[in-house]
Structure 1
Amino acid sequence: MTHIVAEPKIDLPSQEPLAGADGLSLAPSNRTKRDDISGNAYYLDRQAGFESNARTYPRKLPIAIRRAEGIHVEDTDGRRYIDCLAGAGALTLGHYHPVVVEAVQRAVADGVPWQTLDLTTPVKDAFVEELFSTLPNEFAGHARIQFCGPSGADAIEAALKLVKTATRRSSVLAFHGAYHGMTHGALGLTGETGPKLAVRGLMPEVHFLPYPYAYRCPFNLGGEATWRASVAYIERLLDDTNSGIAPPAGMILEAVQGEGGVIPAPDEWLREIRRITREREIPLIVDEVQTGVGRTGAMYAFEHAGILPDVLVLSKAVGGGLPLSVAVYHESLDRWEPGAHAGTFRGNQLAMAAGAATLRFVKEQTLDRHADAMGERLMAHLRRIQRESPHVGDVRGRGLMIGAEIVDARAEPDRLGARPPCRELARRIQKECLDRGLILELGGRQGSVARFLPPLIVTADDIDRIAEIFEEAVRAA
């Protein structure tokens, strides 16, 4: 099903011009008259005039999207793209998938209330039942769920409050390269320093630990020695009474770091981290906002290692692409008082209907296995490109969450063979991809990692075309 959005007729009031974030005027001008410029240029010009300076994606992906269906989007100039961003991984089934559309239309036809705070409904009950059916039985059998505000960051905030309340401790352990959101507490847990510099007084007592990033090993070891050194460092740190770290309220991690550069944690490392935290009674929070619901080749990324978290944070795909986030956790942590975490939009019934339909479809169609097969196919293409181009330093990922790290081929490699990241070349490759009809995002150190997050319904032919465009872009850039 394709929805066509009519271009609005815009009549601006006659008054003093308003200054936009980029210094543009919102008053009628030769730049913003609809007859003078059209399509993408018109809407991007308008956006620059009234939207916040914090906007990000339009700066690197300068398009205005008119339509979307499946894995494709079409801009207002009529150009068609393969969407390898997919709402930062939220659109598991792509745009306007029939099962999601049908679920939402049925809910509307049945007169389901759109928002219910935390009052229960049959739709909510069905969503919880469907979600718990996708979780390991050992976890689901002792689980409680907290519905949070629409964003994953709000569920991260809830998880922090939960473990601090349950343990009566204050310090939190996070990891280099982590991304957990842009709200105050979540930003405090995030590794990237850029967004933090202008925001003083972030959550205190956050201690960052080395993540097993073998390509750029924090211990300058590489290979299996990277995760082994990380485990040894963390265990000794926690047992050192002079480490300066008070007993933690919790540890939070991503089984595959997303914004940090698509870095999968080795299964052995995750098992050791689970052992360490369990032995020391430190609640383990696993952030699966981006990895959850089949993305990595399993329903949840922690399942690859055969571990169970104490707290699981979900958003993006869990709402079928509509705004929804939840924290699911072990019942022993359920010690907070009524009203300890709230939010007006935690009762999004349309998102719950869409989410239940998505979870059911992913499970019944074994899209997690499909993601694993398609991911292997894409990584095989990318590794061939890597062998042929010294500018692709590393290819890694899990399922349909894949990264290709772009490096400066002119620079000398370090003792582990890694060359410096090259932001400028990565941006040129991103632009060349866009010019050829492929939308992908950058992440990782210095924004040098090309990230592939296509919907899980992508086909083998689609994968081959994605790789073909990327290869052309690398050569052109």
Structure 2
Amino acid sequence: MMTDKVRINSLNANSLSQSNETFLARQAEFESNVRSYPRKLPLAIAKAQGAWITDVENKQYLDCLAGAGTLALGHNHPDVIQSIQSVITSGLPLHTLDLTTPLKDEFSAYLLSLLPDQGKEYCLQFTGPSGADAVEAALKLAKKVTGRSGVISFSGGYHGMTHGALSVTGNLSPKEAVNGMMPEVQFMPYPHQYRCPLGIGGEAGVKALTYYFENLINDVESGVRKPAAVILEAVQGEGGVNPAPAEWLQRIRKVTQEHGILLILDEVQAGFARTGKFFAFEHAGIEPDIIVMSKAVGGGLPLAVLGIKKQFDAWSPGHHTGTFRGNQMAMATGLTTLKILKEERIADKVAEQGEWLKGKLAEMQKRFPVIGHVRGLGLMIGIEIVKPHEAQDHMGCYPADGELSALLQKTCFEAGLILERGGRGGCVLRLLPSLLISNAELEIFLEKFEQALLNAGVKPV
């Protein structure tokens, strides 16, 4: 009888003799039309290690997507693999609902120690396995705590695709065919380093947006009832890699505290050393009431957790449940990942690499003016693609070029480089690589990206 290990090795060996096209055609036959990544990145993955992926045709790609930021340590880190094997051989059940285990106990204590003030004011809530599940729980809890129903979110924000999470997400496309979104969601403009939503730009734009938020909450004629919560990302990811100015975040924190409004920080993509600090909100020195965590918290396996200020833990037993809250394997891989990130001071490395990489991209921008703007924090970087031969607006910004951005993603892929797109019209190329990516691999990224620009017909100046 063939063992599972032999069977998997046999499958891998057979896959390397087949084509990407074969597997993609079969995927199209098997799966719903909702699948998206295979349309932009048409490959079938045979194996992966570190920052590299190998497809079934034995072509290698530098992976700067890393599971949309889930794989903080890259693919198949040996310590992560060992943690999986340890759980399998330990006799632990693979999931436990919300029953505790020594492993869950250790994971919980370590995760809490990473929250503000070592988590002394926080408790954890394990939700369903995705970030959207955690967002749903956070919204419900805020309504329960305050007795109010409204939520303020921000244009460009992304919080998930479930009903409530989609309601507070900015992107209109997935909402178009869904009627009856969650009521009393008020969207407000989010600061943008390149395209100020108020058409002002710079420090003046940030000050105006700060005033606008505070005035909306205080104005008795605003038409917006006091909300239960404000939900935001300290760095918008899908919305085009937009970091929130510290001054703006600090004012939102102050106003929400003064009015008894819960502040929910969605750290699903930006959390766990991605931006050069353990959490993106730390750049502003604030403490949220609820922290939404997923992706990297599970070390590559499905896990989602809320960090809740204890004073707002208003749940009654069983009032928010979920079968897969007790994923022991994800707690093992998550604990291993968190320890490596903390003990090896990966956030410091990431902060330094991010500044170096943005500098290199700024130099490239001088030769390739289709690069309109480079922004981000740490290894969460956005490259906005523009039309430099068309007229600038009154703030000096060129029109966005989503078509060229899509072509560049394609030519990057053909050059062996995997990138994601985001922002309005998909005009922003986004980098979310392994946080352990080396400087030499970042040099390879720069070489491949420049080659992709040339292959797309972009001529340097």
Residue of structure 2 equivalent to 1:387: 366
Tell me the distance in 1 between the aligned counterparts of 2:144 and 2:13: 52
In the TM superposition, residue 8 of structure 1 has moved relative to its aligned partner by: 8.5
SS of residue paired to 1:38: coil
CA distance in 1, matches of 2:208, 2:193: 11
Counterpart in the other structure of 2:433: 454
CA distance in 1, matches of 2:381, 2:237: 9
Note the alpha carbon deviations across 1:266-291, whole angstroms, 9 max, x for none. 11111111111111111100000001
For 2:11, the equivalent position in structure 1 comes to 7
Secondary structure, aligned partner of 2:369: coil
Q: Does residue 1:119 correspond to 2:99, yes or no?
A: yes
* Separation in 1, partners of 2:9, 2:27: 17
Alignment of 1:46-57 (within 5 A): 46-57=26-37
Matches of 1:102 and 1:42, distance apart in 2: 33
Among 20, 32, 50, which residue is 1:70 paired with?
50
Aligned-residue offset at 1:388: 1.3
Q: TM-score, normalised by structure 1?
A: 0.92
Give, in whole Å, the separation in 1 of the partners of 2:91 and 2:374. Answer: 48
- Match status 1:200 vs 2:179: yes
State how far apart, in whole Å, the 1-side matches of 2:446 and 2:296 are.
24
Q: Which residue of structure 2 aligns with residue 59 of structure 1?
A: 39
Equivalent residue letter for 1:117: L
Letter in 1 for 2:84: V
Residue aligning to 2:73: 93
Show CA shifts across 1:115-143 (max 9, x none). Answer: 100001111101101101112216x1111
Q: How many residues align?
A: 451
Equivalent position of 1:350 in the other structure: 329
Q: Take 1:195 and 1:9, find their aligned partners in 2: how far apart are those partners?
A: 39
Whether the 8 Å CA contact 1:179–1:189 is kept in 2: the answer is: yes
Question: Secondary structure of the residue that 1:215 maps to in structure 2?
Answer: coil
Deviation at 1:418, TM superposition (A): 1.0
Moved beyond 6 Å, runs of 4+: none
Specify every segment of 5 or more residues in structure 2 that has no aligned partner in the other structure, as ranges.
457-461
1:165 shift after superposition: 0.3
Q: Distance in 2 between matches of 1:148 and 1:390?
A: 45
Give yes or no for contact 2:276–2:348 (8 Å, CA) kept in 1: yes
Aligned-partner Cα distance in 2 for 1:9–1:316? 30
Q: CA deviation at 1:190?
A: 0.5
What SS is found at the alignment partner of 1:353? Answer: helix
Q: Which letter maps to 2:318?
A: G
Over the aligned positions, Cα root-mean-square deviation in angstroms equals 1.8
Q: Give the partner amino acid of 2:405.
A: A
Aligned ranges 1:364-375 → 2 under 5 Å: 364-375=343-354
In structure 2, the partner of 1:232 is 211
Superimposed CA distance per residue, residues 377-410 of structure 1 (whole angstroms, 9 cap, x where no aligned partner) = 2111111111111211100000000000011223
Residues in 1 aligned to 2:11 and 2:414: alpha-carbon distance in whole angstroms:
24
* 1:361 and 2:365 are equivalent in the alignment: no
Q: Give the 5 Å matches for 1:414-429.
A: 414-429=393-408
Letter in 2 for 1:317: A
* Residue 333 (str. 1) matches residue 333 (str. 2): no
**What does the per-residue CA deviation read over 1:279-330, in whole Å, with 9 as the maximum and x for residues that have no partner?**
1111100000001110000011111111100000000000001000001110
Identity %: 52
Deviation for aligned residue 1:249: 0.2
Shift of 1:6: 3.8
Change (3 A) 1:9 1:72: closer
Residue in structure 2 matching 1:170, options 149, 169, 185: 149
1:38: Cα distance to partner?
3.0
Letter in 1 for 2:206: W
Q: Deviations over 1:16-47 (max 9, x none)?
A: xxxxxxxxxxxxxxxxxx9xx93201100101
TM-score (norm 2): 0.95
Counterpart position of 1:398 = 377
Decide whether aligned partners of structure 1 residues 472 and 184 sit closer, same or farther in structure 2, where only a CA change above 3 A counts: same
Q: Distance in 1 between matches of 2:350 and 2:193?
A: 24
Q: Runs of 5+ in structure 1 lacking a partner?
A: 11-33
Cα shift at 1:437: 0.8
Taking the aligned partners of 1:6 and 1:163, their CA distance within structure 2 comes to 50
> Aligned pair 1:322/2:326, yes or no?
no
1:17 is matched with none
The answer on 1:304 being equivalent to 2:283 is yes
**1:58 maps to amino acid:** P
Match of residue 247, structure 2, among 256, 268, 278: 268
Which residue in 2 is equivalent to 1:80? Answer: 60
Please list the CA deviations of residues 176-215 of structure 1 after superposition, one character each: whole Å capped at 9, or x if unmatched: 1000000000000000100100111111100001101131
Distance (whole Å) between structure 2 residues aligned to residue 141 and residue 340 of structure 1: 24
Query: How big is the shift at 1:9?
Result: 12
Change (3 A) 1:230 1:55: same
Q: Which amino acid aligns with 2:72?
A: T
Please give the secondary structure, in 2, of the residue aligned with 1:290: coil
Does structure 1 conserve the Cα–Cα contact (< 8 Å) formed by 2:68 and 2:432? Answer: yes
The letter of the residue matching 1:56 is: S
For 1:327, what is the secondary structure of its paired residue?
strand
The match for 2:264 is 285
8 Å CA contact retained: 1:433, 1:469: yes
Q: Is this contact kept in 2: 1:5–1:66, CA < 8 A?
A: no
> 2:417 corresponds to which residue?
438
- Report the equivalent of 1:153: 132
> Against the structure 1 CA distance between its residues 283 and 213, is the aligned structure 2 distance closer, same or farther, given a 3 Å change threshold?
same
Instruction: Name the CA distance, whole Å, in 2 between partners of 1:184 and 1:6.
Output: 41
Q: Which amino acid aligns with 1:421?
A: A
Per-residue CA deviation, residues 439-473 of structure 1 (Å, 9 max, x unaligned), is 00000010010000110000111111111111121
Aligned pairs for 1:246-257 (under 5 A) are 246-257=225-236
- Cα offset, 1:111, TM superposition: 1.1
